[in-house]
Structure 1
């Protein structure tokens, strides 16, 4: 299953005009909207699943419900029954989008399959559990009881691992994105940072003048938002552990706080404020206010889009949602390569030079041509007027270098005897080694050599570096910082490898020569393998097969431009329909 698509980030200036156009939908399970609703039925906990296709709500009257955000009618929701006490907290599994954890005052932590409505596991932790926090990989979950005990639970064995008593009340727990530490909000106004799984004390943040109720870590891991009983949300730099700004527009204790999917915006919820104030993370400026009529104590941003869910007391659940078509779109940027640094192997002639020309004419900042013939490269550089300074990062690597190798296609098809066929197949046998090395081995070798520069570009664009594993664990991106490097705020491109293949990669009929088919087929397969191998490292890989020098420019501009941001692991074939005529495999 492919990972969920993320919306285009919005700049601070564009957020308010866009968000103001959105529609708020109401989700209520009351069959008579005008009938009074008990406060015990008010939503007290929210959780989106990893792709944002479902949202769970829980209430003190034991109501636990799964909503489809696209359908407001209660008939399209699912109620999960089994708890004998009030539902205190719900939390979807960080990887498995159909598994939900819940805890209740009945002393149970239950695991549900939301498709079948069945309990797939339960653990009795005793007391009154009221907080839940999954480890990032979903292998364990920590339940917090009202008697100040934290209990890690193994999801695979459905057993408690140990208990850790805390000296003061712990209101919420959140893990760091690598799972090596856990944050605890305390009733004394502090946030404690403990190493995990040892629960060894690491650091204490003196955050607020009264109880800390809520906290959230930004998708990039760069900020920690803390909500307190003093009606403040404090934002902390997780590198220096300094409070960089405070949000003070909320009236009443802050019971929940959450970052948008890209970390650009933050919002807090209070049970005494009839407004939700959305602030820009980097500057602390308020960019939008939602009038909620009723206090909205619990808030949760969609994991992939600018969609905000919040509790609405008697009205149930409200979701302010949008579709991507409402986001501002500038057609001129779809195929823009402005500012990109591109490396092309075999870039001195033919297809390679056509690629370089298309990129140069459309604003690429630097183009580096790699090849075997210095005279050819010098002539190409002179033509493009490219730069010769050494790069510290690379946006796009294009593996274009290749040779045809021994030509035996005609002899193969004209052979009249088995001995002639044997001779044709072994013709220029010594040329196979160098052809395979250039057409296949170099794709792996050059790609490997450029990996540090490709990752450096991701980091320069404020993407999370290193390896990210697990379905639903999105690579964190600080889109609001892109303006600092002169890049549009909605530019979410990752580093990219493009392997230029051939029609010989897929056609079963030998045209130029056997080694041409074999090596180009292997090159295309290597490009596909790289897309899988490098996906966890945030580097895209695609394979392109151009028809001639003219249409390769359009194909490359599409793949490396904003229009191809989410293209990876594909083969783009431009062959005039030959794969539909000749025996082929594609």
Structure 2
């Protein structure tokens, strides 16, 4: 088995409890550079670049070799400082490895910003209303972007003309917490505070085709597997529900967290699901989608805001609040490089 280099001489941000031989030999390394809490991480579609957005108003783009030794120093290839407030959400275009969209959950910075990693520049900024922008999701063909706002409205952006297409508001007293494009080009999936997940056609968002009763209380987050075979939802009831999309049935639930589930992500082959809860400072569990077994636990010393599996390798990125260390760190949980 390959050996890792020496870890940094500081208190590590995470302790890993390896419980499954499938993860034997995995290690950790940090990507340092942000000066404040990291709110979002996201891989591009080919898994070669990792972007991070933070409270220091910057976006950093890293070219990451997932199988490098832990001791290898990392440096951001680019830093974008176009936002005037904290960067809270980032999303790469699903069909283009160089195009990135971002937003700030701030009434003073309401532009949806687009960057191109080839030129390391902002390419467009689409102004929205004075509502806070919370979640972004690209259409499967990369032509449109949907933005979830704090007013429980969805704004659709045409990324060819870089302007708003239309706006839709949720009726009644139900609140919208997250939206994901899918499972097809013509559908949106919405997480609501009544514990349901609704999947509706774009033409009739008020008339969902499926209404999944996923949670006893607020549905907080959503994730699709890359092939859209599975849908996972997290809730404030400390449950994660795993749905099989072809039959539209709930395969199983995971209930280890003691607090609300904050974020979740599928591995590239959909065999593993990682999710983070708010118990203690934060705990990331990695579970099998096939057996339901808990494979590994990462006990964090700071709150985890976001987790993201690489789309081309069994590598997990996560980040959160590292204020005690005086900076925001992005962590990579990755296997060692095989020795020849």
TM-score range, shorter chain: 0.7 to 0.9
In the TM superposition, what is the alpha-carbon distance from 1:309 to its structure 2 partner?
Answer: 0.5
Question: 1:215/1:63 Cα in 2 relative to 1: closer, same or farther (>3 Å)?
Answer: same
Asked whether 1:253 is paired with 2:263, we answer no
Find 1:307's aligned residue among 312, 315, 330.
315
Secondary structure of 1:90's aligned partner: strand
Q: How many residue pairs are counted as aligned between the two chains?
A: 304
Matched, 1:66 2:61: yes
Task: Describe the SS at the equivalent of 1:263.
Answer: coil
* 1:118 equivalent in structure 2: 121
Indicate which of 277, 281, 284 corresponds to 2:292. 284
Shift of 1:23: 1.5
Partner of 2:95: 95
Partner of 1:229: 236
Q: Is the 8 A contact 2:254 2:292 kept in 1?
A: yes
**What CA deviation, in whole Å up to 9, does each residue of 1:506-536 have, x standing for no partner?**
xxxxxxxxxxxxxxxxxxxxxxxxxxxxxxx
Q: Which runs of 5+ in 2 are unaligned?
A: 1-17, 323-327
Matched, 1:131 2:135: yes
- 1:173 Cα deviation from its structure 2 partner: 1.4
Structure 1 or 2: more helix by fraction = 1
Separation in 2 of the partners of 1:51 and 1:68? 11
Q: Is the 8 A contact 2:224 2:230 kept in 1?
A: yes
Could you tell me how far apart the structure 2 residues matched to 1:135 and 1:286 are? 32
Q: How does 1:359-508 map to 2 (within 5 A)?
A: none
The alignment status of 1:16 with 2:32, answered yes or no, reads no
Paired residues of 2:179 and 2:190 also in contact (CA < 8 A): yes
1:53 is aligned to 2:48: yes
1:268 corresponds to which of 272, 275, 278 = 275
Which position in structure 2 is the counterpart of 1:294?
Answer: 302
1:140 aligns with 2:147: no
* DSSP-derived class of the 2:338 partner: helix
**Does the Cα contact within 8 Å between 2:229 and 2:245 map onto a contact in 1?**
yes
Aligned to 1:192: 198
1:525-581 deviation per Cα after TM superposition (whole angstroms, max 9, x unaligned): xxxxxxxxxxxxxxxxxxxxxxxxxxxxxxxxxxxxxxxxxxxxxxxxxxxxxxxxx
Going from structure 1 to structure 2, the CA distance change for 1:235 and 1:308 (only over 3 Å counts) comes to same
Q: TM-score, normalised by structure 1?
A: 0.49
Paired with 2:267 and 2:243, the residues of 1 have a C-alpha distance of 16
Contact 1:254–1:297 (CA under 8 A) maintained in structure 2: no
- Would you say 1:29 and 2:33 are equivalent positions? yes
Q: Deviations over 1:308-353 (max 9, x none)?
A: 0111421511001125738xxxxxxxxxxxxxxxxxxxxxxxxxxx
SS in 1 for 2:270: coil
Higher mean alpha-carbon deviation, 144-153 vs 119-128, is at 119-128
Q: Which residue of 1 aligns with 2:182?
A: 176
Distance 1:235 1:203, change over 3 A: same
Structure 1 position 19, deviation (Å): 1.6
Q: Name which of 198, 218, 222 aligns with 1:211.
A: 218
User: CA separation in 1, counterparts of 2:24 and 2:303?
Assistant: 20
For 1:44, the equivalent position in structure 2 comes to: 39
Shift of 1:63: 2.4
Displacement after TM superposition at 1:198 (Å): 4.2
- The structural deviation recorded for 1:59 is 2.1
Deviation of 1:76 after TM superposition, in Å, equals 3.4
* Cα 1:75–1:242 shift into 2, 3 Å: closer
Cα offset, 1:60, TM superposition: 3.2
Given the superposition, is the C-alpha separation of residues 268 and 111 from structure 1 closer, same or farther in structure 2, using an over 3 Å criterion?
same
1:322 matches 2:335? yes
Q: CA deviation at 1:177?
A: 4.5
Contact residue 270 and residue 298 of structure 1 kept, 8 A: no
Runs of 5+ unmatched residues, structure 1 = 1-13, 31-36, 327-586
Q: Give the direction of change, closer, same or farther, for the CA distance of 1:85–1:28 in structure 2 (3 Å limit).
A: same
Secondary structure of 1:137's counterpart equals: coil
2:111 corresponds to which of 108, 111, 114 = 108
| Range with bigger deviation, 84-93 or 146-155 | 84-93
Q: Which among 156, 161, 164 is matched to residue 160 of structure 1? A: 164
CA distance in 2: counterparts of 1:160 and 1:198, whole angstroms: 18
From 190, 208, 224, give the equivalent of 1:201: 208
Question: Using the alignment, how far apart are the partners of 1:73 and 1:84 within structure 2?
Answer: 29
Relative to structure 1, the CA distance from residue 76 to residue 133 in structure 2 (aligned partners, 3 Å threshold; closer, same or farther) is closer
Match of 1:519 in 2: none
Matches of 2:119 and 2:256, distance apart in 1: 43
